[in-house]
Amino acid sequence: MLGTVLPLYLAGVPVQTGRTLRVLDKYTGEAYADVAVAGPAEFEAAIAAAVAAEGPLRRSKPFQRQAWLAAAARAFEARADELTAVLAAEAGKTERDARGEVGRLVDTFRFASEEAVRSYGEVLPLEVTPRAAGYRGMWKRVPLGACGFITPFNFPLNLVAHKVAPALAAGCPFVLKPASATPVSALLVGEVLAGLGRGGDGLPPGTFSILPARAADAEVLATDPRLKRLSFTGSDEVGWALKAKAGKKRVTLELGGNAAVIVDAGVDLDDVVERLVVGAYQQAGQSCISVQRILVVEAVYDALRAQLVARVRGLTAGDPRDPRHFCGPLVSEADALRLAGWIESARERGATVLAGGGRRGAVLEPTLLEGVPADHELVVSEAFGPVAVLQRVADFDAAIAEANRSRFGLQAGVFTRDIHRAMRAWDELEVGGVLINEVPSWRVDHMPYGGVKDSGVGREGVRCAIEELSEPRLLVLRDETS
């Protein structure tokens, strides 16, 4: 992609600013693309345009919004090979992972196109007391208005889709700041949206802006009162800091985690091991719901340990374009160095590295440890890489208690054949989602998705996101003869 500067999208129009950001190939470290960068003036213009678009977009009909979203989904599907190649370069994803994300991008826009025509209200009986005789009530949902979105590097297509598609379905203009490490994917989304046209049967002018920028310049998405909602996906430290600056603005935060999996006795260990490998090491572990803590009851610990160690030792990491590798690189060598340091620190404190642990540049081998101290970063913090920790627990109740001993609470997985234990896990695990006989990193894009504790506030997933981007508006009618 070198040789030309990819434009940003300001009020739906491709714009060059004269300032550029260089994007690197995450495996080779070489220059991959240059993109235009926004500053304060572009953010001001984008927010003003989004506010001006509130009325026209609110007046658009559900069938129009459905048509825009469906057309975008078809365009993404037609460009699947191109998008897959972009993800391999700027995000370091293997072809398997990249194609999976492109498929989810298409799904998310299709789900949103379906939900665009499903905004229901309710007739509300008011004559429940004598003083309300002759009154009728009803309510509908209306769009909040212009919104600000900030997305991370790890799913640079689909996590953009989870902001953009529900906003269009709900009728909310938006300004999006993508991750500086992976802005090309978001700009290609902008290219497709711009191709839907402006005015007439196309998107109202000003409906969207996609602005690569410095984090400091994007803070206005939290602080500007003209934007009605901030939706942020990223680290808990940054997310909570932005919420503190957001004032009266509504905020959705999709933050980090150190997801736990509970393995009960009596389960199919072959199946469990295969799911754990996917949950811990797919996407090079760069997912907020990647399996990080594996809590195994005493009765099956040794057997599962032997199988899992053998399986993880057979995984390889390297060039994401080489189909032999299960993992590509981390987003940067600095991240790989951080995790390598955590692994060495755990080893020095008595942990055993059962598999992996090696590093070459930004590539970290799929790694499995046991005996990690309970207060170590690999247990209490978010690793965000291909590292998992095995832990022996006495029984199922002890596993639930240990899973809850975390400041995070996004999703958890539970492998059990006991329906009562499955229901107890659903009741007692302090997380946003409990997956039975599956790893927490499994997701379908219309699911309610979000966490508790330090993992965030609010819910995404297309239908839930549309609700977060809208609000009920009541109508009361008095019969003049009453």
Q: In one letter, which amino acid is 177?
A: K
Coil, strand or helix: which one is 255?
A: coil
The β-bridge partners of 435 are: 413
Query: In the block, which residue shows the tokens 């295969």?
Result: 274
* DSSP per-residue string spanning 314-343: T--BS-TTSTT-SB---S-HHHHHHHHHHH
Helix (H, G, I), strand (E, B) or coil at 112: helix
Residue 115 annotated among the catalytic residues of the structure: no
Q: What are phi and psi of 195, to 5 degrees?
A: -70, -10
Q: Which of 288, 377, 460, 468 is catalytic?
A: 288
How far apart are the C-alpha atoms of 343 and 349, rounded to whole Å? 10
The encoded tokens of residue 383 equal 């690793």
Place of tokens 């991240």: 335
Question: Buried (b) or exposed (e) across 39-75, using 16+ Cβ within 10 A?
Answer: eeebbebbbebbbbbbebbbebeeebbbebbbbbbeb
CA distances from 9 to 33, 186, 187, 236, 458 (A): 16, 10, 7, 28, 28
Whole-angstrom CA distances from 342 to 80, 166, 293, 357 are: 37, 38, 15, 10
Q: Is 147 a catalytic residue?
A: no
Given 254, 333, 370, 460, the catalytic residue: 254
Report the amino acid identity of residue 450: G
Catalytic residues: 254, 288
